[in-house]
Amino acid sequence: MAYRYVVQVGDEVLRNKSEEVRKFDSELAALLDDMKETVRKEDGAGLAAPQIGVNIRAVVIDLEEGYFEMINPKILSVKGEQRGEEGCLSVKGKQGVVTRPNKVKAEYRDRTGKKHTVTGTGLFARCMCHEFDHLDGILYIDRAEEVYDISTKNKAGQDEE
């Protein structure tokens, strides 16, 4: 495993639509291992392959619900709505308020190509939507109703005077 550099907003790779994964091989496995190390070193909740400069449909999510590697993910259904703050490893120093579904059912393949389905609610649903957006060249700042510098908010979430 190796840490990979996380590209930042402005890099065109973040705006490209990612290619579907067709080969489930040792190269993909090594990439997923690198993504796991990277998301954990960056203390993130998720990471999409384009964020490390690789234009394929692969994401990792690391939350209380567990660690997930999702290849070629597709949202099958959504339900409800939640509004909350999001950040991104590719948009350092900023957060934004984004409305997302509260419940998401998705299908994906694992590193061996086996198909799975998963249903997430709350933060897990938000994270799936956020990471899957990366695969289509969409950043949370494109969906946010408000984006602000983290340094201008205090711990209570209020603007500093």
Burial class (CB in 10 A: 0-12, 13-18, 19+), 105: middle
Per DSSP, 157 falls in state S
What is the C-alpha to C-alpha distance for residues 54 and 57, in angstroms, rounded to an integer? 9
Residue type at 90?
S
131 is catalytic: yes
79-96 burial: b if 16+ Cβ within 10 Å, else e: eeebeebbbbbbbeebbb
Catalytic residue among 12, 20, 131, 161: 131
Q: Which residues are catalytic?
A: 131
